Amino acid sequence: MVFDKNCVTPLYVQLKAELMNRINNGILKSGEQLPPELEMAENFSVSVVTVRSAVNELVKEGLIEKKRGKGTFVSNTKYKRDYTKIQSFSDSCRAMGSVAGSRVLEMKLEKADSSLAQKLGVNSGDRVLYISRLRTVNGEPMVIEKNYFPERFADLLNEDLEKNSLFLILQEKYGVTVTKSSKEVEIARTTSEEGKLLNLSKNYPILLVKSVAYDQFDTPVYVGSQAINGERFTLKI
């Protein structure tokens, strides 16, 4: 491609626009390495300085990242989760045009300690249902969910939560609709187990979202946490 050197728009801006267009249209794919600056300069018939200026602008905007000793790469796709809306993980992925997946890690009944019992509105020592799932986006592991439900939802043990929406089961089987939730977001670091599940190293920074969800009658439905790969997710709160 040859740019118009007589145009009032600087060459680096023209090149930046071309690279951005290729990224947005999937010609340059997420995680793909860009050619060296000299090669790009030759391909686009511009100077190395022009290439460097265009690339630096895209780095500032987060579309491209430089990895020391490795080169320049198209940044990994950032997925968005809108916490101002009450929606399931599956619905949020669908809104992004992505495919949600789920793998059940653990499902069991256990006794609630005093802190959990207070949040769930049950008595300390009462049985509660614990469900842990690994959530994926387009096949990539992104979130580890850990949720505690009152014992009245114990029949969820018999449901296929890898293929079916938990929110939909709550609506259809229990007549329960999650209408609001309180959330706290903090920075945490992965344990060895979390790192393996999310394909991250141990002690890697992640987003930890703690929540209590309520139904249409303001009754607690579940108390949960989500360990999220913050590099790949943007949260709207």
| Same-domain check for residues 180 and 95 | yes
Q: Could you give the percent of the chain with pLDDT greater than 90?
A: 73
Residue where a domain stops, chosen among 74, 102, 117: 74
Instruction: Please determine, for residue 121, whether its predicted confidence score (pLDDT) is greater than 90.
Output: yes
Which range of residues forms the domain containing residue 23? Answer: 11-74
Residue in the structure block whose two tokens are 């300085």:
49
Six-digit token string for 106: 């653990």
Q: What is the mean pLDDT of residues 98-127?
A: 97
Neighbour-count burial for 109-124, b at 16+ CB within 10 Å, e otherwise: eeebeeebbebbebee
Q: What is the mean pLDDT of residues 9-13?
A: 93
Rounded Cα–Cα distance for residues 234 and 142 (Å): 12
**Length of the chain, please?**
237
| Same-domain check for residues 102 and 70 | no
Q: What is the mean pLDDT of residues 211-230?
A: 96
User: DSSP H helical segments within the chain, as ranges?
Assistant: 11-24, 37-44, 48-60, 89-95, 114-120, 166-174, 192-198
CATH number at residue 158: 3.40.1410.10
For residue 201, give every residue at least 6 positions away whose Cβ sits within 8 Å of its Cβ, in sequence order, or none. Answer: 190, 195
Report the number of distinct structural domains present in the chain: 2
Residue 183: inside a domain, yes or no?
A: yes
Phi, psi of 101 (to 5 degrees): -135, 165
Amino acid 2: pLDDT? 64
Q: Which residue has the higher pLDDT, 51 or 31?
A: 51
Radius of gyration of the chain (CA): 23
Rounded Cα–Cα distance for residues 153 and 155 (Å): 5
First CA to last CA distance, the chain: 42
Residue 25 burial by Cβ neighbours in a 10 Å radius (0-12, 13-18, 19+): exposed
| Same-domain check for residues 18 and 66 | yes
| Same-domain check for residues 125 and 190 | yes
| Same-domain check for residues 139 and 23 | no
Residue where a domain stops, chosen among 74, 93, 125: 74
Residue 2: inside a domain, yes or no?
A: no
pTM of this prediction?
0.74
Amino acid 45: pLDDT? 92
